[in-house]
Amino acid sequence: MSKEGLPGMGKLDASGLSVAVVTARWNTEICEQMRIRAVETANEFGVSTVTEVHVTGALELPVLVQELARTHDAVVALGCVIRGGTPHFDYVCDSVTAGLTRIALDAATPVGNGVLTTNDQQQAIDRAGFSDSVEDKGAEAMTAALDAALTIRSIRSTCG
């Protein structure tokens, strides 16, 4: 696990922004911890509106993210896919990543990808933002999405 290269973002002023958080129910303990950290981060940065919705699993994330990208300044997708004994892991991870990327580009709306793809449960716990975790992917996904949304807002206000 590495936080090498992780930028220090400092405190963002996200007042006036609306953000949606879409959280998968699969691997609930992990996903709910990431949701808590993402929402706490949004509130810490002063987000005006936080909309929260849940879906069954990671494969359902893109369709809800797409819908919410139409009405929010940014969307954060949270899920956890743990490798099993079949190629299903690869298909799910590839589909979700491609879907979220396409939505961000098509909608011109930042999508924070907080979908963990791990080899085992412990790796997920280590990344989920628990008090003893070494990473906080819910907070990181929110910070990245808000930073991009603020940059888009700045570009649009100066470039008309």
Residue 56 DSSP code: S
125 is in an annotated binding site: no
86 is in an annotated binding site: yes
Residue 84 DSSP code: -
Residue 4 DSSP code: T
Residue 160 DSSP code: -
Which are the catalytic amino acids?
Answer: 88
What SS3 class is residue 91?
A: helix
151 is in an annotated binding site: no
44 is in an annotated binding site: no
60 is in an annotated binding site: yes
Residue 24 belongs to what H/E stretch? strand 18-24
Binding site feature residues: 26, 58-60, 80-82, 85-86, 113, 127
Binding site feature residues for (2S)-2-hydroxy-3-oxobutyl phosphate: 85-86, 127
Binding site feature residues for 5-amino-6-(D-ribitylamino)uracil: 26, 58-60, 80-82, 113
